[in-house]
């Protein structure tokens, strides 16, 4: 898969060009780390990678690029390892930063949002939307979308307010309220599935909410 192709620059385990583009179009990860401001880099790493050492890593990137452009995955890994110690759980310190840059370069959360809205528009009544996400940022957005569109926000909270009385008719019905997780067998046979979360909803005959906007 392209994630493991060193030429694509997605993996911190192989040296290659710092690219990370899924389509091959637009700015690369190298463009971002060499041109963005320190604060923007830190924000991307913090919000998309949920990396608590984001500012330390961003500072290291800015200091390193002042000497030489950061053009390879190995360069970036070296910068991260220099500024962040390996955790006790054995996870490589570069993991979260590489994920954050991939999300940024490919606008993955924007693509997800547009995909969900598009599915709401084109699914026929009774059609099912099945979404598999591989990290918490994606899953939270899918959960929020489906719970809102199904009217399953319940009594509301400060994180997910109750729907107003004039809210549109639910465009989806949840098939299962929570996410479906991989079995222990599947996770052991395919470690990449360990973080996967699957959510399913069925399209109602109500108009798409996005058509009201």
Nearest to 42 by CA among 22, 17, 50, 68: 50
CATH number at residue 204: 3.40.50.150
Residue recorded with tokens 């385990």: 13
H/E element, 140: helix 136-150
Write down the pTM of the prediction.
0.81
Domain extent for 194: 108-212
82: tokens are: 């220099």
- What is the C-alpha separation between 131 and 176, in angstroms, rounded? 12
What's the pLDDT score for residue 11?
66
Task: Give me the number of domains the chain comprises.
Answer: 2
Q: Using the Cα atoms of residue 179, residue 180, residue 184 and residue 186 in order, give the sign of their dihedral.
A: negative
What's the pLDDT score for residue 163?
56
52, 78, 106: which is the final residue of a domain? 106
C-alpha atoms less than 13 angstroms from C-alpha of 93 in its C-beta half-sphere: 18
DSSP for 79-104? HHHHHSPPPTT---TTHHHHHHHHHH
Mean pLDDT by 10 residues, the chain (213 residues): 54 78 88 98 96 96 97 95 82 90 95 96 97 94 96 60 71 94 92 91 93 56
187: tokens are: 């996770």
- What is the C-alpha separation between 54 and 93, in angstroms, rounded? 11
What's the pLDDT score for residue 85?
85
86, 106, 126: which is the final residue of a domain? 106
CATH number at residue 31: 1.10.150.170
């Amino acid at each position: 898969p392209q994630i493991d192709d060193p030429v694509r620059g997605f993996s911190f385990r192989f040296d290659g060009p710092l690219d990370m583009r899924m389509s091959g179009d637009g700015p690369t990860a190298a463009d971002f780390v060499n041109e963005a401001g320190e604060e923007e880099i830190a924000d991307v790493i913090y919000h998309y990678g949920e990396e608590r050492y984001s500012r330390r890593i961003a500072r290291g990137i800015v200091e390193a690029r002042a000497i030489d452009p950061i053009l390879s995955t190995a360069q970036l890994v070296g910068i991260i390892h220099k500024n962040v110690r390996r955790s006790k759980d054995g996870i490589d310190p570069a993991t979260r930063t590489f994920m954050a840059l991939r999300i940024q370069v490919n606008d993955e959360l924007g693509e997800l949002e547009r995909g969900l809205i598009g599915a709401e528009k084109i699914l026929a009544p009774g059609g099912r939307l099945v979404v598999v996400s591989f990290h918490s940022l994606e899953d939270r957005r899918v959960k929020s979308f489906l719970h809102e569109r199904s009217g399953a926000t319940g009594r509301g909270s400060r994180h997910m307010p109750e729907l107003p009385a004039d809210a549109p008719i639910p465009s989806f019905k949840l098939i299962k309220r929570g996410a479906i997780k991989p079995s222990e067998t599947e996770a052991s046979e395919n470690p990449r599935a360990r973080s996967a979360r699957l959510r399913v909803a069925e399209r109602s005959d109500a108009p798409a909410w996005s058509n009201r906007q």
